[in-house]
Chains A and B, each alone.
Chain A
Amino acid sequence: MPEAIGLVLLLPFLGFLINALFGNRLSKAASAWVACGAVGLAFVAAVVMALTPNWPNGAALTYDWTLSGSWKISFGLLADPLSAWMCLIITGVGFLIHVYSIGYMSHEPDFRRYFAYLNLFVTAMLLLVTSDNFVGLLIGWANVGLASFLLIGFYTERPSAVAAARKAIVINTIGDVGLILGIFTIITNTGSLTYREALTSGNIASGDWRNWAALFLFIACAAKSAQIPLQTWLPDAMEGPTPVSALIHAATMVTAGVYLVVRAHTIFGASEWAAWFIPIIGALTAFYAATCALAQTDLKRVLAYSTISQLGYMFMAAGVGAYEASMFHLLTHAFFKALLFLSAGLVIHALAGEQDMRNMGGLRREGATRFAAISFIIGALAISGIPIFSGFFSKEAILGSFPLLGGDYVLNASQQAAGVPVWFLALIGWVGVVTAFITAFYMFRAYFLTFEGKTRFEGHPHANPQSMTVPVGVLAVLTTVGGFLAFEGGWNTLETWFAPIKDEVAQNGPNVWRSIETNRFDVVGLVIGVGAGVAGIALAYIIYMARPVRVKSTATALATMADSPKPVLVENPKMYAAKATQSRRAAEIGYIDRERSNPGPGVNAFLRSGLNTFLLYGWGFDLLYNLLIVWPGKGTASLVAHWFDRGVEQAVDSGLGGSTAGASKAARRTETGFVRNYALGILLGAVAILIYVAVIGLQR
């Protein structure tokens, strides 16, 4: 029943309205029920919709928005395999995270605001994926950015959270501008903005515009999905509550870029540039973020960089036309990354806000966090690509799309047109393999630091409520079994699922779709892929468990850090430790004051410091952007404020203002207040017009 798509979109919106408008009058329980119920029912509706997607008959619900004669703007919702796929992920994982939030946010005074934002996000994200045209996509695109902004800056009293939110929305706005430019390019060259007409237009067959459209759209994708060079906002976005990080910054919103590439794949597939730059950026980002994750000490930031890295994987796959593999990895990533974040959330919740892995350790032995340890290790195994876990299947599907060992690899139409050589794709694939190795390493480094080894935290972890553990359990099951949808060379349910979309491409445009089915079963490839993961885990075990390196707790580490970037870092670490035990909220504030309110080391410290700092601060991208954009911008602004504004102000004050005052003083004299004077004015005006008319008449 494709019409259920309307309910999918409407229910979370109603939840948002209720929580936003009447939140103050609702009890916490009622607010949570409304929010979770809305998303849960939306999931049911999405399942109903997904049972019978009616592609290629087009929009399931179309509403004529503006009518003017024969010209009209329609707004429609599209029920097709792709949107159904995304709807299921968003509402399904979203529902679990909503439920989880009840427990995680229970101490929060702004409980209702939180749920209102969360429902707003779900609404916007669903609009993004269900719209049948680019304008609806843009509205959803901008609104998920807004919801993300609101939720990153949820702790409004924390300066670093506000700064992170600002950073996120600024970078996302760059992406929005790219999307708008892309939409302009598309409507100019195809004459339509609905997917059905624009993406199957005959103009796609040729023209330079396809390259530009793909480039502009990819700017949007890069900003939303945190790809190089617009990736710097996502690690900072961890300022938001952990469920938000799980839902928005891991499972759903950041995958919007992948969705767009797959949705607009006729344009991306037809572009010769895209055949080059999407795999390059994807692989580069995957590798970059994985290396950065190596050095992070904050558990959530490890996961954030890991998310960036996995998104890079998805783009790598989408860049070579392996859209099925890309969407497959999107699904499994939603499962295991949400699982990892929520497990991290269990730990953070149990430790009253502590996020620094240096202050954890040995948590597996604690009763309160043993469950978190199990779920975390399931997620870590999945992301490392260990067989039977879901990540294995999708990661193999992606790596299998690349000719790791050369061989008889069939280039698709756009790669042939762009002249992409096989060795280039092999290189990209090997970057993916190396990344898989690093991924397994840093993920188990995080696991060992957090859950094994010596206990480094103070106090006693307290138990998590069931509303938090049950969703984690469900996600753990999904992470374990969610991958049996497709296996290269074996079976492929995804192909049947996405067949209507694939056929649409085959009819209208270059065939760039690379089904998982086309990847042959390759023992060597399998060994390489799994071997990378196993090797990473083994190395992590050797370094952190077998011969454990000495990990200091933050207090000691900070006190002894030789090249501490900012004096604030060594300022009374005991104070923060004391704060950490006070309350979770205060601890988060304290933690943030300590670490994130400084954007990184200065240039000198950065140059003097070693590889660790280089990786810790994300290869210095923040510093680079500060040097190139932020500081020059601020300097120019203050210069303008000091010199230009003041001068103009004076000129305006004495010149414009003075003359205006003088003129109005003179003009005031004409206002005598006598009615007869005004009437005379009317008469004189009428006479003047009459004279003019008479003169014109005489001249004719």
Chain B
Amino acid sequence: MTSITFTLIVSAIIFALGTMGVLLRRNPLVQFMSIELMLNAVNLAFISFSGTLGTSEGQIFVLMVLTVAAAEAVVGLAIIVALFRRRRRIDVDDIHAMEG
């Protein structure tokens, strides 16, 4: 088993765990952390391929992902804070105004 195989499998497992986290947790903060997990899993896959192919494009993509993740965290956390300010409670299941 080469190192790329191993790291890709690790990345796949972390990605699956991240999805489960998003779906299972009711706390939006932890949901965000799970999304970060998924992003990091993808980063790991990028880096693995980049290293194996010997080109730096994969790394540059990771940098983009980092940027987007940072932006997403900033906006997401701001939304959560705004929600908390309004409801004094953070639970995604409290918010279901879209119910049909």
Contact = CB atoms under 8 A, between A and B. Distances in A.
Contacts of B23: 676, 679-680, 683
Given A679-B23, A683-B19, A683-B23, A674 B92 contact: yes
Interface in B43-100: 92-93, 95-100
A203 B81 CA distance: 78
A669 B100 CA distance: 7
Nearest to B93: A674
B100 A675 contact: no
Contact of B99 (A667, A671, A676, A680): A671
A670 interface: yes
Interface string A661-700: 0000001111111111001100100000000000000000
A673 B94 CA distance: 10
B26 A672 contact: no
A675 B92 contact: yes
B99 A673 contact: yes
Interface centre among B19, B97, B100 (most CB of A within 10 A): B100
Contact of A671 (B22, B26, B95, B100): B100
Contacts, number: 31
Nearest to B96: A673
| Chain B interface residue number, banded | 10 to 19
Contacts of B99: 671-673
Given A679-B23, A683-B19, A671 B92 contact: no
A673 B98 contact: yes
A677 to B, nearest CB: 9
Interface in B23-57: 23, 26
A57 to B, nearest CB: 59
Interface centre among A669, A672, A674 (most CB of B within 10 A): A674
A365 to B, nearest CB: 87
Contacts of A680: 23
A675 B95 contact: yes
A670 B100 contact: yes
Nearest to A664: B100
A668 B93 contact: no
A697 to B, nearest CB: 16
A674 B96 CA distance: 5
Contacts of B22: 676, 679
Given A676-B26, A679-B22, A668 B96 contact: no
Contacts of B97: 673
A628 B41 CA distance: 78
B28 to A, nearest CB: 9
A565 to B, nearest CB: 65
A681 to B, nearest CB: 10
Contacts of B96: 672-674
Contact of A668 (B19, B26, B100): B100
Interface string B3-33: 0000000000000000100110010000000
A355 B2 CA distance: 104
Contacts of A674: 92-93, 96
A698 B23 CA distance: 29
A667 B23 CA distance: 22
Contacts of A669: 100
Contacts of A667: 100
B98 A671 contact: yes
Interface centre among A670, A671, A673 (most CB of B within 10 A): A673
A683 B15 CA distance: 12
A676 B92 contact: yes
B41 to A, nearest CB: 14
A670 B99 CA distance: 9
Interface centre among A667, A671, A676, A683 (most CB of B within 10 A): A676
B98 A676 contact: no
A370 to B, nearest CB: 84
Given A672-B96, A679-B23, 17 more contacts: A668-B100, A671-B98, A671-B100, A672-B100, A673-B95, A673-B97, A673-B98, A673-B100, A674-B92, A675-B92, A675-B95, A676-B23, A676-B26, A676-B92, A676-B93, A680-B23, A683-B23
6 contacts: A671-B99, A672-B96, A673-B96, A674-B93, A676-B23, A676-B93
Interface of A: 667-676, 679-680, 683
The 8 closest A-B pairs by CB, nearest first: A673-B96, A671-B100, A673-B99, A668-B100, A673-B98, A675-B92, A674-B96, A680-B23
